Chains A and B, each alone.
Chain A
Amino acid sequence: MRAKIGLLSLALLAFGAAGANAEPVKIRVAWVAPVANWISIWLDKKDLAKHFGQSYVFEPVHFAGTPPMVTAIANNEVEIGDLAYSTLPIAIKNAGMDDIRIIADDFQDGVDDHWTIKYTVLKDGPIKKIEDLKGKVLATNAEGSAVDIAMKAMLHKHGLENKRDYTIIEAPFPAMKAMLAEHKVDLIPGILPFALDPEMQKIGTILFTAKEAIGVSEFVSFQARKPFIDKNRAAIVDWLEDTQRILHWYLDPKNHDEAVQIAARLVKAPPERFGWVFTTTDQYRDPAMLPNLSALQKNVDMTKELGYASASFDVKAYSDLSMVEEAGKRLK
């Protein structure tokens, strides 16, 4: 009898231990541009992440652009997407992923004096106005990306259409400066940090900006699929709490010097070139990580009007900001 009670106690103990030590949820988060998508430097401050390794483990996953992310999200190869305003309707309407929910802001473009993407041509080149791009080759990181659609929106306003009037080629952001300098392409999108390269500024001149093309935009936001949210809500809130804490650390002017060192290390460039990081020169990042849904609605409608998404949608209906709000309350 005693032996049976002993065995039962052991079994209950083991069961309790297993419950207490449940595997942390794996959260893989996509990113594209180093530093601009600051998820790329999240792990450098993981000491601030209280819940890291407890309720979740975090892994940043790099993509060449947001369009390939759509396939990864469809295959559940990332848990949290970092889709742009242009790829959100592609994922939801073209790819039929009706269960995607916007959960937080990554960054916005063209807010006040903050950074806006600068579409750049050669200073001494033949392109002086947008109409001069007719018959030329334009670089993008990936067709359908936010960078790409903003560019196409501007060209559309000036009567130029893709394939008919210009050719788009895909190239990685770090290679674009060389391609412009070597006259392989006639226009490149100037994104951070590459646009602030002194050599780039020497040879290039801004033809137009994303803000001029499409106004303020919810350029990139974080998303998760509803089944994952329903199953792992607590872990997502923990991740958002830690992420906001790390974001606040990066945004704090007291930590600017260290933030610069971290950014320079990632991009393998001199720290002197990163004085702008997490300042008003940088992209705008909402401290509460709340996305600008009215800007996002305009961006999504525009993507549909340009013919790159089969339909638009009500962005509020595809948002779930309760988790980021709950995470924010914990930090107060």
Chain B
Amino acid sequence: MARVEDQAALAAEPGDLAHERAKGLDAVFRLGAGTFSILVLLIAWELFARSGKVTPFMLPPFSAVVARIYADAAGGDLWINLGLTLYRAMTGFVIATVGGIALGAAMSRIRWVHWFFDPIISVGFPMPKIAFLPVIMLWLGLYDVSKISIVVFDAIFPVVTATLGGIAGVEKELLWSARNMGASERQLMWQIVLPAALPQILTGLQVALPISLIVAIVAEMAMGGYGLGGAMMSASRFADSRGVFAGIVEIAIVGYGLIKAMALIRRRLLVWHQETAEHN
């Protein structure tokens, strides 16, 4: 049986006021469905924290955490920490994107490149690359270079493998047709191969993006200083539970925002693709 909001939409005629109202109702229902479970979790958190079963040190109330976030925002600390974490995560992500796509494309088209890098990618991909953090700190120091480097090191692997997979999946008929029409290898790559592989490449980027954020935060936790991760570790050291939980909420909001932004970018870039038409 169709859902209530779908039935409402179907019953109205296009261009109708009722149709517009139905679309609005549908949007409200979708928003509610998306946030209802979060709201339940937050209410449960608040009630449990205030119940007396745990100390505020173990679990501060959600309202206290929100107040702390507000205080950090008003004081400016939040924006400094957020800005630095985003700078490190996104710089690393962009470098991993450009490098990963270039390497994946080179591996798919040039035999010796594939021969050389395939074992490295196969061994490196399943490894917990964050384990290299002490080495990266030793070689590159304790400022942004080492933090961005570990982000690149972690995020590049899913981009490479997604690019390889996407290019390998391009229909041979497309390539043959383009060659028959006199397309050069360069034209083939930019006008046929990469656009056809784009859905899978974007999937790789959607995997790499949260990895970039996670690794940036973990690196900040290990190295200290400014940044959401460094702020959380500092709060933990001073038994400042509100600060710790504020960091967790801030990271959750930032992560959610980045993932939604990436999904929007995907829909825009793939406006021509079947998956976007199905979504609409």
Q: Do A and B bind each other?
A: yes
Residues on A facing B (Cβ under 8 Å) = 65, 67, 70-71, 74, 90-91, 94-97, 137, 142-144, 163, 167-170, 182, 184-185, 308-309
Q: Let me know if A94 and B234 touch, CB within 8 A.
A: no
How far apart are the CA atoms of A262 and B141 in the complex, in Å? 36
Which of the candidate stretches B9-17, B26-34, B220-228, B245-253 sits at the interface with the other chain?
Answer: B220-228
Q: With a CB–CB cut-off of 8 A, which chain A residues contact B142?
A: 137, 167, 169, 184-185
B34-66 residues with Cβ-Cβ distance < 8 A to A are 55-58
B56's nearest neighbour on chain A, judged by CB, is A96
Q: With a CB–CB cut-off of 8 A, which chain A residues contact B237?
A: 65, 67, 142-144
Would you call the interface of chain B mostly helix, strand, loop, or mixed? loop
A308's nearest neighbour on chain B, judged by CB, is B238
How far apart are the CA atoms of A309 and B238 in the complex, in Å? 8
Q: Let me know if B238 and A167 touch, CB within 8 A.
A: no
Q: Let me know if B138 and A184 touch, CB within 8 A.
A: yes
Q: Is B233 interfacial (CB 8 A cutoff)?
A: yes
B58's nearest neighbour on chain A, judged by CB, is A74
Q: Let me know if B224 and A169 touch, CB within 8 A.
A: yes
Q: Let me know if A90 and B239 touch, CB within 8 A.
A: yes
Q: Let me know if B55 and A167 touch, CB within 8 A.
A: no
Range of interface residues on chain B?
20 to 34
Q: Which of B56, B234, B239 makes the CB contact (< 8 A) with A91?
A: B239
Q: Is B86 interfacial (CB 8 A cutoff)?
A: no
How far apart are the CA atoms of A95 and B241 in the complex, in Å? 8
Q: With a CB–CB cut-off of 8 A, which chain A residues contact B137?
A: 184
Known: A90-B238, A94-B239, A95-B239. A184 touches B225 (CB 8 A): no
Q: Let me know if B141 and A169 touch, CB within 8 A.
A: no
B77's nearest neighbour on chain A, judged by CB, is A163
Q: Let me know if A168 and B225 touch, CB within 8 A.
A: yes
Q: Let me know if B138 and A67 touch, CB within 8 A.
A: no
What are 12 A-B pairs with beta-carbon distances under 8 A? A67-B238, A71-B239, A94-B238, A94-B239, A95-B239, A95-B241, A96-B57, A143-B224, A163-B225, A169-B142, A182-B138, A185-B142
